[in-house]
Amino acid sequence: MIASPALAQDWGTDFNMGTFAAGGGSPANGYLNLECAGEGSGFDFAGQPFIALTVIDGEQLDKKSLPDEITFWVDDEQSYLLPMSIEEGSTTRLVYDYSADTVEQARGLVEAMRQGSIVTAKADENVIASLDLEGSNDTLELVEDCIAP
């Protein structure tokens, strides 16, 4: 997968080899990167979202105490549960465990983030990231459109 820009709180977007990417965040608030390969990309995972979350500075993840699902709250009104696991070799980065059963949650999260002002990720009740969504609407549009319904 490609790395999307994620400096400060700014949201950025990229398109490379048929893959749409969007991301934003900061060390103090965590980083969120989302990617999706388009139908014409030739990839066998076309339409499947890739979501990676880097937790806030100072937070360390432990496989033994990590819940099976991370709760993403958009504006403290809408919640989305995504199965995520710790990226191999990391203690600070989670990746979405894609399944056809949860893709609607992922798509709903991206859609809500486009309209929201803040997204907070929680492992149980522990806040592991909280990102301002200002400027994310346009950057997330292509990723949302790419995710297969």
90 inside domain:
yes
Q: Which domain holds residue 24?
A: 11-146
Between 110 and 7, whose confidence is greater? Answer: 110
Structure tokens at 63: 């496989």
Residue located via tokens 């709760």: 71
Q: Is residue 2 part of a domain?
A: no
5 domain-assigned: no
Please check whether residue 4 lies inside any domain of the structure. no
Q: At 77, list the tokens.
A: 């009104």
Say which residue, 46 or 81, is predicted with more confidence.
Answer: 81
pLDDT band for position 7 (50/70/90)? very low
Q: Per-residue pLDDT for 42 more than 80?
A: no
Instruction: Please state, in angstroms and as integers, the Cα–Cα distance from residue 37 to each residue in 57, 64, 83, 86, following that order.
Output: 30, 32, 20, 22
Residue 1 lies in a domain: no
Q: What is the CATH number of the domain that holds 82?
A: 2.60.40
Mean pLDDT along residues 76-86:
94
C-beta separation of 56 from 30 below 8 A:
yes
Q: What is the pLDDT of residue 5?
A: 39
Mean pLDDT to the nearest integer, 44-63: 91
Residues near 42 by Cβ (< 8 Å), separated by ≥ 6? 18
Q: In what order do the strands lie in the sheet with 30-37?
A: 11-16, 19-26, 30-37, 49-54, 93-96, 78-86, 69-74, 118-123, 126-132
In a domain, 68, yes or no: yes
The answer to whether residue 93 scores a pLDDT higher than 70 is yes
Looking at residue 9, what is its pLDDT? 57
pLDDT of residue 125: 92
For residue range 125-138, list pLDDT tens digits in order. Answer: 999 999 999 988 88
For residues 9 and 24, is the Cβ–Cβ distance under 8 A?
yes
Domains in the chain, number: 1
Would 108 be classed as within a structural domain? yes
> Which one is predicted more confidently, 2 or 40?
40
**Residue 105 pLDDT exceeds 50:** yes
Kindly state whether residue 140 falls inside one of the protein's structural domains.
yes
What pTM was estimated for this model as a whole? 0.87
